[in-house]
Copies of this chain bind each other. A is one copy, B any other.
């Protein structure tokens, strides 16, 4: 029996129940189309969409929005040549693009975090999974060693670190995506006695500056910004693995992207 785009979406949403307010909608394509192939990705860049089409995929599941805005505000882009060329590719190919952001974060544990923890090979070190954060106790190492470990496991070329790189750390607070701000990160230092927080990104005047003041007062805390995509892409790879098990007869791909930033 043919599997339709809407069937896959329904299955993905089912563990959470339909949310009234969500960015997770079908952005393009026909929900009744028969699925020929699925791809997952962190963000449906022009390159990723082209690659999906080349692979014969007609359902692309993306974590972030396609047009550089969390809430799909495209007013700014309506006459933009980059938007228009990307939109043309999407329309002419008929590819279905589904955003899977809010639901995936609401899985228990959070699907994005599960993928990140697996990529870091830290599943056995998790002491607690909370809705937005995971706590881990890893073998003691310096913050510098931790940064090098993470880079190597995630295959990324740089991270940004605040705090004392030579301090020993073992208690880790993990926050994916744009959860590196003070409201999410500081309570982990306060209440959970973490030594270091690993997050995607967050405002620079919040958590990093808190860590700076802590260090000045002799309290060894540290913060590592992995990069937003770098922290969430493994969770979309994990989604592809989950879909492969669920739909053994469908081709399922994970399409990675290069790091958007280089450190110079």
Tell me which of B151, B187, B217, B261 contacts A160 (CB under 8 A): B261
Tell me which of B86, B213, B225, B262 contacts A45 (CB under 8 A): B213
As a 0/1 sequence over residues 208 to 238 of chain A, the CB contacts with chain B under 8 angstroms (1 = contact) are 1111111011010000010111000000000
In the complex, the answer to whether A208 meets B264 with C-beta atoms within 8 Å is no
Please give, as numbers and ranges, the residues of chain B lying within 8 Å of A79 by CB-CB distance: 190
A32 at the interface (CB under 8 A from B): no
As a 0/1 sequence over residues 37 to 69 of chain A, the CB contacts with chain B under 8 angstroms (1 = contact) are 000000101110000000000000000110011
Q: How far is the CB of A196 from chain B (nearest CB, A)?
A: 13
As a 0/1 sequence over residues 178 to 214 of chain A, the CB contacts with chain B under 8 angstroms (1 = contact) are 1000110011001000000000110111111111111
In the complex, the answer to whether B260 meets A208 with C-beta atoms within 8 Å is yes
A106 at the interface (CB under 8 A from B): no
A148 at the interface (CB under 8 A from B): yes
Q: List 26 A-B contacts (CB under 8 A).
A: A43-B205, A64-B209, A68-B206, A68-B209, A69-B182, A76-B183, A76-B187, A77-B186, A79-B190, A82-B210, A82-B213, A82-B219, A144-B264, A147-B264, A148-B264, A160-B261, A160-B264, A162-B261, A178-B203, A201-B204, A203-B228, A204-B228, A204-B260, A208-B260, A208-B261, A209-B260
- Return the 5 tightest CB-CB contacts between A and B, nearest first: A160-B261, A204-B228, A263-B263, A147-B264, A208-B260
Please give, as numbers and ranges, the residues of chain B lying within 8 Å of A264 by CB-CB distance: 144, 147-148, 151, 158-161, 165
By beta carbon, the residue of chain B nearest A76 is B186
Given contacts A165-B262, A264-B158, contact A209 B45 (CB under 8 A): yes
Residues 14 to 37 of chain A near chain B (Cβ within 8 Å): none
Stoichiometry, as copies per complex, reads 2
Contacts from A to B (Cβ < 8 Å): 43, 45-47, 64-65, 68-70, 76-77, 79-82, 85-86, 144, 147-148, 151, 158-162, 165, 178, 182-183, 186-187, 190, 200-201, 203-214, 216-217, 219, 225, 227-229, 257, 260-264
Tell me which of B77, B162, B205, B219 contacts A70 (CB under 8 A): B205
| Complex Cα–Cα for A9 and B160 (A) | 36
In the complex, the answer to whether B262 meets A161 with C-beta atoms within 8 Å is yes
Please give, as numbers and ranges, the residues of chain B lying within 8 Å of A82 by CB-CB distance: 210, 213-214, 217, 219
Please give, as numbers and ranges, the residues of chain B lying within 8 Å of A212 by CB-CB distance: 45-47, 257, 260
Please give, as numbers and ranges, the residues of chain B lying within 8 Å of A260 by CB-CB distance: 162, 204, 208-209, 211-212
